[in-house]
């Protein structure tokens, strides 16, 4: 493991340990292996770097990091000849505010693509959708300003949070994608959430099979971004 990745691991562990915001206990537990091991060995040294900036879903809570959807998508695309280096910067319990705080250091790693999977914890805590949107907008705009392509993963919330709130929250993802001209998967957990065998007992985190289904949905959009990179980074 290079010094840079050791520093990244320390940064992410610190972010998980220092989160001061109150959160439901099932979201607060540090994910087993919050940082997926860098997979440089499975891609050429010059292959583009993809960073997944996310929460416990990206981190693969209660699962081996290699079973989380970023690693599964990495393997799926590698099998199709689309190679990239992977950093899974998913931290259990993270919010859009936490992702924004971690962004500068992640951009220093010179990623070609940032996969943004945040906002779900904000929504579960009932934060104002306009504030969540503003923070996600900052992340996308700052990444784009650094020359990084962004894949935004849309999140949906349980209807128990109220129809009006859920509608306002879910509308922010396609709006951001349209206004900022970034790629978007409208509901990235489709095929896992609410589907038999797709979610763990807590109803919030995917099973191994659920992560496979999520990867099948995310990988094509990520592959398109990677194949469009010119010249290769």
Catalytic residues: 56, 202, 205
CB 155 within 8 A of CB 123: yes
Cβ within 8 Å of residue 60, ≥6 positions away? 31, 32, 33, 36, 67, 68, 69, 71, 90, 211
Q: What burial class does residue 92 get, using C-beta atoms within 10 Å of its C-beta: 0-12 exposed, 13-18 middle, 19+ buried? A: buried
> Quick one: which of 85, 119, 81 has its CA closest to 100?
119
CA–CA gap between residue 213 and residue 206 (Å, rounded): 9
User: What contacts 217, CB < 8 A, 6 or more positions away?
Assistant: 185, 188, 190, 191
Rounded distance between C-alpha atoms, residue 180 and residue 198, angstroms: 32
**DSSP structural state of residue 188:** T
């Amino acid at each position: 493991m290079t010094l840079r990745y050791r520093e990244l691991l320390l940064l992410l562990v610190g972010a998980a340990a220092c989160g001061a915001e109150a959160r439901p206990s099932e979201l607060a537990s540090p994910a087993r292996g919050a940082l997926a091991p860098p997979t440089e060995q499975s891609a050429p040294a010059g292959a583009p770097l993809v960073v997944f900036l996310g929460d416990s879903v990206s981190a693969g809570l209660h699962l081996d990091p290699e079973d989380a959807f970023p690693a599964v998508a990495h393997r799926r695309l590698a099998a199709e000849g689309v190679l990239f280096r992977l950093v899974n910067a998913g931290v259990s319990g993270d919010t859009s505010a936490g992702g924004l705080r971690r962004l500068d250091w992640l951009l220093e790693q010179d990623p070609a693509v940032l996969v943004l999977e945040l906002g779900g914890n904000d929504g579960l805590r009932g934060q104002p959708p306009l504030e969540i949107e503003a923070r996600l907008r900052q992340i996308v705009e700052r990444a784009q300003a650094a020359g990084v392509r962004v894949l935004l993963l849309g999140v949906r919330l349980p209807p128990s949070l109220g129809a009006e709130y859920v509608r306002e929250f879910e509308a922010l993802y396609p709006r951001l994608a349209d206004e900022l001209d970034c790629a978007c998967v409208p509901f990235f957990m489709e095929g896992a959430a609410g589907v038999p065998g797709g979610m763990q007992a807590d109803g919030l985190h995917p099973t191994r099979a659920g992560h496979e289904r999520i990867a099948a949905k995310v990988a094509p959009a990520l592959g398109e971004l990677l194949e469009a990179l010119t010249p290769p980074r």
